[in-house]
Structure 1
Amino acid sequence: MSNDTGSPTQRPVPEGRLVLIRHGETEWSKAMKHTGTTDLDLTEHGEEAARRTAALLEEFDFALVLSSPMRRARRTAELVGLPEPDIDPHLVEWDYGGYEGRTTAEIREELGYDWTVWEDGVVPGDTPGESIEQVAARARAVIDRVMPVLKEGRDVVLVGHGHTTRILTSVWLRTEPRFGAQLELHAGSISVLGYERAFPSIQRWNQLAPR
């Protein structure tokens, strides 16, 4: 089938942009501790950096603002100047189970091998923990929620966490969730997802506001 110009007909590509904000620094993120279900506040530095991040968002006109329910995400949304967000529980961080509050170095010392959360997963603790596939399923639910807005050519922003955001990006790119291990993402950064022709793409990644 061809259109009037004789070129192949293509499916419409969503023109809206999906902006991802990782919450600002907390004491645990600063110490490289796995922070999933623990509800921490931002550090003073994290709050200051979030205020600076507002300048990176001036080009966007958000039709939908979603945030994780955790305080560190909601406070970041407030400080970057976003409207009151809808709280989406699918945006919470990976449930690390028995590895909550521990660093990778500590876990490796206990286990005796080069453990990573991406390859080896977590064990139950005070919470059951999640597999990477379960986190990816939550990410897919978020993408399905925002896609109608993006198809209208309108921008959406998600305020969330490091690992969940990296997994969501992997799902967006239609690759396997462990690809997120290769996506470095700093606290307080913004990233932008969109399309390159018919292919989901990363338009901007891990951008930090200048000091």
Structure 2
Amino acid sequence: MSSQPRTPPPGGRLVLLRHGETEWSRSGRHTGRTDIPLTAHGEQLATAAGALLTSYRFVLALSSPLQRARRTAQLAGLSPELDDDLLEWDYGGFEGLTTAQIRAELGYDWTVFEDGVPPGQTPGETVEEVAARASRVVKRAVAALSNGDVALVGHGHCLRVLATVFLRQEPRMGAQLLLDAGSVSVLEFEREAPAIRVWNHGPAVSAPHS
């Protein structure tokens, strides 16, 4: 019995660019909807990341509307469309706190992927709600991959969840995908299977001495 012909996978690559360093990312504070700028080093990271993108043929570029992502895109040489679905995880009542501070307050080894966040000045989100947003971005990106490459500029936790959605994995797997400020990651299809080509590739820019 002959098998049904398979639909050829998209030929483009999905490039994830995490924004450069901010004061809060440098100190480990959870930065969801707080709109803060890049540091000088963060701008260096974004510019250097742009040098890693020169071989791609982007037919679509999307960015979170927050200034740290928009500025990163600009310095990397991209002119993206803004998409609210690429906003960072809404950390609710844990906005601005470090993991150490949250654990000291709660009295156990809290993680955002396993334990979530309480409401605060913003409602907060579950990992499933972040994945739902990410799935809309992935659907749009995959549709464009047949014509070329797609760039997504955003934030650490949201892009980690987005990668799990693309890979058809459980979103809590994002906890195992480290993603540094200013890093570039590349996802693509290997035949019909979504796969990681490059993950957390950082531009060669030294951090400032503290």
TM-score, length-scaled by structure 1: 0.94
Paired with 1:137 and 1:148, the residues of 2 have a C-alpha distance of 17
Q: Among 29, 40, 46, which residue is 2:42 paired with? A: 46
Instruction: Say yes or no: does 1:81 pair with 2:69.
Output: no
Q: Does 1:120 align with 2:110?
A: no
Tell me how far apart the structure 1 counterparts of residues 143 and 135 of structure 2 sit (CA, whole Å): 14
5+ long unaligned stretches in structure 1: none
Query: What secondary structure is seen at the aligned counterpart in 2 of 1:201?
Result: strand
Tell me if 1:208 matches 2:208.
no
Deviation at 1:55, TM superposition (A): 1.2
Residue 60 of structure 2 aligns to a residue in which SS?
strand
Offset of residue 39 of structure 1 = 0.1
The letter for the 2-side match of 1:20 is L
**One-letter amino acid of the structure 2 residue matched with residue 163 of structure 1:** H
In the alignment, the residues of structure 1 paired with residue 99 and residue 53 of structure 2 have an alpha-carbon distance, to the nearest angstrom, of 33
Task: After TM superposition, give the deviation of residue 8 of structure 1 in Å.
Answer: 6.4
1:148 alignment partner in structure 2: 143
The separation in 2 between residues aligned to 1:94 and 1:172, in whole angstroms, is: 17
* 1:193 corresponds to which of 187, 191, 210: 187
Are the counterparts in 1 of residues 8 and 191 from structure 2 also a CA contact under 8 Å?
no
Q: What are the superposed Cα offsets for residues 34-67 of structure 1, whole Å, 9 maximum, x if unpaired?
A: 0000001000000011111111001101001100
Aligned twin of 2:6: 10
- The RMSD of aligned alpha carbons is 1.2
Q: Give 4+ residue runs of structure 1 displaced > 6 Å after superposition.
A: none
Q: Which residue of 1 aligns with 2:88?
A: 93
Partner of 1:72: 68
Partners of 1:102 and 1:91 lie apart in 2 by 21
Taking every aligned residue pair, what percent have the same amino acid on both sides? 60
Matching residue of 2:208: none
- State how many pairs are aligned: 205
Give the stretch that moved more between structures: 33-42 or 53-62: 53-62
Give the match's secondary structure for 1:28: helix
* Secondary structure of the corresponding residue to residue 200 of structure 1: strand
Could you tell me how far apart the structure 2 residues matched to 1:54 and 1:141 are? 25
**TM-score, normalised to structure 2's length?**
0.95
SS at 2:119's partner residue?
coil
Q: Report the AA paired with residue 88 of structure 2.
A: E
Distance 1:22 1:113 in 2: 29
